[in-house]
Amino acid sequence: MTNFTEYMPAGVAFYDPLNRNKIINLPQMANPNFDEKEKQQRSREYGGEESPSFKIFVLGEVVKSGVSVFDMDRVRANYNYKRQIKSFEITRKNLNRYHEIIVVERPKNSERIFIAGDIGESAGSELVIFSEVNNVFHYLYRLTLYDLTDEEQFGILKWLVSQLQGNVLGIDSTEGTGRAIYRRAEKIYPKDNLVWYAGTNKINVDFERDKNGKVIIKNGQPSYRQEYMSEWAVRRLKVLFYENRLALPMDFKLDQQIGAVVSMMSGTRTTYQCIAQSGDRKSVV
C-alpha cells in the first residue's frame, strides 16, 4: 500500500532507482474478486474516487502532492517509550459492561481534564483523555467505540466526565453522529466547558486592525480575522509537539496516524488527510 509520501522512509525506498526492478505496484482491480460492487463500497468508505485514500488504497497511487505535516523526530521527543498507553475497546457485545471494562481515575495533581472525541460514522470513534499539569498535557487513556449509536456513545462520554470530573469536553462535529452527540452534551453542560470542532468551519483568531494597529469596527462591532479550524488546529498541535508540552506514553496507533498526516492545496486552502491504513482517520479536514 502506497500510504506514504516521497519524503517518508518508505517513499525514499519506493523512488530509489536501484529498487526499480524490485517493486510491483498494482491496484486492487488486479484481484479477480474485485468487482464493481467492491469498488463502490471502497468509494463510499474513502470519500469518493478522487479522494487521496481511494487513490492510495484502491488504485495504489502515490499522492505526490501530499507533504508530511509533522516532523516526527520532534514529535517523538514527547514519547515515554517505557510506558504504553492504557486503551479500551467497547463494542455492542460488551457495551452493557463498559463501566467494568473501562478503568480510569483522575490524577491527584491534575489541574484540568480534557476529554476529546473523534467521532466516526462508518469507522469507530476514538476518545482520548489528557490531564493538564503545569501547562503540560499528559496523555492518559485512549478508548475506541465500535458500532454504537450517538446515544450510547454519549452515555459513555457522560460517564467519563463524571468519573474523571472532566473540565473540557471536545467533540468532532464534522459528521452527523458527532453533531448529535454535541447537541446532547450542550443540554447538560455549560458551553464554556464544551468545544465544537468542524475542520471546514472558520473561527475568529484575532481582531482586524488598521495600519495604525487599531481594531476595525464595522456596524458597531469589532471585525475579526478568521481561519479554518483545521489549519488553526494543526498549527496548535505543532506548538504543543515542538515545545515538548505533551507527555505521551507509547501509542503505536497514534504514532502511525501522526506520521501519515499530509497536507495538500485545494484552491487557496490547505487541507489535511491521514493516509494511515490503520486507525480509519481518513477524512479530509
Give pLDDT tens digits for 207-229: 999 999 999 999 889 999 999 89
Residue that the C-alpha cell 489535511 belongs to: 272
pLDDT at 232 > cutoff 80:
yes
| Mean pLDDT (whole number) for 233-242 | 94
Distances (CA, A) of 127 to 130, 157, 172, 202: 10, 9, 10, 23
Mean pLDDT of the chain: 86
In the three-class reduction of DSSP (H, G, I as helix; E, B as strand; rest coil), residue 80 is classed as: strand
pTM exceeds 0.85, yes or no: no
The C-alpha cell at 283 is: 477524512
In this predicted structure, what is the pLDDT of residue 12?
A: 66
